[in-house]
Chain A
């Protein structure tokens, strides 16, 4: 199968620091892949490269077979890449409903002119947007807080709202940056189930950064490990868990099988 996402020798340097170093990566259209590594390994930076926040210093990124160089962040979203943020970045006092609406409307062409004329086309499109927002909110059990400002939500809801907002752009590739960070074990296992569910329901590829190994091992078919910007392992969970380089760099002895 042709890869949905392909990274060829992707490298980025910040001054003297090489945050991501010659990384090769391929991701199939419906793969759920975990991305792990110690703090500062370059996981978030890799997301920033894929989503066009930074251009790579060297190397190339292809999405759906086409190079992404020269595309701005918002154009990549329209091509089908969406993400969440490690440190939550919601639209402060915007309501839950409007937050998701902003993302749903990314693909809409109706602009101000239609809005002012209030044509039938505009009203129909508007109703369709509303329907999609309601459906997404219901799926994530956020419909009960739809009119509340995003900042006022409990932490777990804010994390889930970030995922809904990303999904609302109808991506083919979803990048989740530590979506379970700061959640309690119950919330974590709910979220794990939800990630698996949405991956199946929306038939998308997911790249998941997560420090909690139970979450990663539980749902990922494949795990990629970064250390100091270098990819040190890439394979099925069992193989990665047994890989001595991974154990040394990240997992530690206790995580090794039958240690």
Chain B
């Protein structure tokens, strides 16, 4: 039982990070109907932004403090929001009215461009880097369960971000306009919604969440490298599809689900070697039995 709970906590902590990244895939899909394959790389850039901001922030805030950690997180989110907006403007906007396949291939190109540029020795270099401890490292024992301060921060941050995201999407002018665009772009434009600014906003929001995921991931695993976004990004993408692409609660649920199942699989002898394949097995199962995802959104009527 303790073993089960421990795995559940570890799985949820991993799943929360997948969830944060998956939200970006699903939001962009909801608006533009294409998969932004460079999103996993924005997650990586978030982690590196954290790496570079930490020494700067530590000049002002005490090292390994919650306040300093929060500032690093916010800075990384802001930088990545800007990068996400820039990627859309430079790479995708000129192709707005081209076939989706063109944009999809461009997204793969952008992803490779970021990965290989960052691996260059004058940029980040290909070797993994140690990520500094942003917050006080502590562990708590509850009975036989072990919970780390990092895990607590992962849960608290993710929960807060989800609540804020929900507020933005449901209550604010930009959020309402975002939903309107996702249902019918042309009708939204003809009701006065500026499509370009909504698309920028969506990329900014999704990228900020990915950056948060990057920081939390780096805090949890302590090591970062320019290709860290490849596999994690892919699994988060799977999470978005499993939850129902275009559906925000679905992406969060899919992320948690994949994180938990993957962690449990890793604990089963004989299955642990296949850990990274689990997400894709789930994907195949979902695509067979529920092709529109677990929390499927009603198909948007095309006019």
Indicate whether A and B interact: yes
Instruction: List residues of chain A with CB under 8 Å of any chain B CB.
Output: 51, 53, 72-74, 77-78, 82-83, 85, 87, 89-94, 98-99, 101-103, 105-108, 110-112, 115-116, 151, 165-166, 168-169
Closest partner residue, chain B, to A86 (CB atom): B303
- Of B90-98, B125-133, B172-180, B265-273, the stretch lying at the interface with chain A is B172-180
Tell me which residues across on chain B come within 8 A of A98, comparing CB atoms: 176, 179
Minimum CB–CB distance for B165 against chain A, Å: 12
Tell me which residues across on chain B come within 8 A of A151, comparing CB atoms: 298, 301
Given A74-B195, A91-B183, A115-B168, A53-B190 contact (CB < 8 Å): yes
Q: B139 at the A/B interface (Cβ < 8 Å)? A: no
Closest partner residue, chain A, to B201 (CB atom): A112
Tell me which residues across on chain B come within 8 A of A101, comparing CB atoms: 176
Minimum CB–CB distance for B39 against chain A, Å: 21
Check B171 against A92 for contact (C-beta < 8 Å).
no
Check A77 against B171 for contact (C-beta < 8 Å).
no
* B13-37 CB contacts (< 8 Å) to partner A: none
Most buried by A among B164, B173, B176: B173
Bound form: Cα–Cα A112–B171 in Å: 10
Given A73-B190, A92-B184, A111-B303 contact (CB < 8 Å): no
Tell me which residues across on chain A come within 8 A of B186, comparing CB atoms: 53, 73, 89
Given A93-B298, A98-B176, A169-B184 contact (CB < 8 Å): no
8 closest Cβ contacts across the A-B interface?
A106-B192, A77-B192, A91-B183, A89-B187, A115-B172, A73-B189, A92-B183, A105-B173
Check A93 against B183 for contact (C-beta < 8 Å).
yes
Q: B104 at the A/B interface (Cβ < 8 Å)? A: no
Given A102-B180, A115-B168, A108-B173 contact (CB < 8 Å): yes
Q: B194 at the A/B interface (Cβ < 8 Å)? A: yes
Bound form: Cα–Cα A206–B267 in Å: 68
Bound form: Cα–Cα A93–B186 in Å: 16
Check B303 against A91 for contact (C-beta < 8 Å).
no
Q: List 11 A-B contacts (CB under 8 A).
A: A72-B194, A85-B303, A91-B183, A92-B301, A94-B179, A102-B176, A103-B192, A106-B192, A107-B192, A168-B191, A169-B191
Minimum CB–CB distance for A48 against chain B, Å: 9
Check A90 against B187 for contact (C-beta < 8 Å).
yes
Tell me which residues across on chain B come within 8 A of A165, comparing CB atoms: 191
Q: B188 at the A/B interface (Cβ < 8 Å)? A: yes
**Interface residue from B171, B183, B189 paired with A94 (Cβ < 8 Å):** B183
Q: B297 at the A/B interface (Cβ < 8 Å)? A: yes
Closest partner residue, chain A, to B164 (CB atom): A116
Closest partner residue, chain A, to B193 (CB atom): A74
Interface of B is mostly: helix
**Interface residue from B177, B189, B297 paired with A105 (Cβ < 8 Å):** B177
Tell me which residues across on chain B come within 8 A of A51, comparing CB atoms: 190
Provide the B87-118 mask, 1 if CB < 8 A to any CB of A, else 0. Answer: 00000000000000000000000000000000
Check A102 against B188 for contact (C-beta < 8 Å).
yes
Check A87 against B303 for contact (C-beta < 8 Å).
yes
Tell me which residues across on chain B come within 8 A of A78, comparing CB atoms: 192
Bound form: Cα–Cα A1–B18 in Å: 62
Minimum CB–CB distance for B33 against chain A, Å: 14
Check A112 against B174 for contact (C-beta < 8 Å).
yes
Minimum CB–CB distance for B272 against chain A, Å: 41
Tell me which residues across on chain A come within 8 A of B167, comparing CB atoms: 115
List 19 additional A-B contacts (Cβ < 8 Å) besides A73-B186, A77-B191, A85-B187: A53-B190, A77-B192, A89-B184, A89-B187, A90-B184, A91-B180, A91-B184, A92-B298, A93-B298, A94-B179, A94-B180, A98-B176, A102-B177, A108-B173, A112-B172, A115-B168, A115-B173, A151-B298, A151-B301
Minimum CB–CB distance for B160 against chain A, Å: 12
Given A92-B300, A98-B179, A74-B192 contact (CB < 8 Å): yes
Minimum CB–CB distance for A4 against chain B, Å: 18
Closest partner residue, chain B, to A162 (CB atom): B187
Bound form: Cα–Cα A103–B297 in Å: 23
Closest partner residue, chain B, to A108 (CB atom): B173
**Interface residue from A77, A90, A99 paired with B190 (Cβ < 8 Å):** A77
Tell me which residues across on chain A come within 8 A of B180, comparing CB atoms: 91, 94, 99, 102
Minimum CB–CB distance for A208 against chain B, Å: 17
Check A91 against B187 for contact (C-beta < 8 Å).
yes
Check A169 against B192 for contact (C-beta < 8 Å).
yes
Tell me which residues across on chain A come within 8 A of B189, comparing CB atoms: 72-74
Most buried by A among B179, B183, B303: B183
Tell me which residues across on chain B come within 8 A of A90, comparing CB atoms: 183-184, 187
Closest partner residue, chain A, to B197 (CB atom): A74
Check B171 against A115 for contact (C-beta < 8 Å).
yes
Tell me which residues across on chain B come within 8 A of A93, comparing CB atoms: 183, 297-298
Tell me which residues across on chain B come within 8 A of A168, comparing CB atoms: 191
**Interface residue from A91, A107, A112, A116 paired with B188 (Cβ < 8 Å):** A91
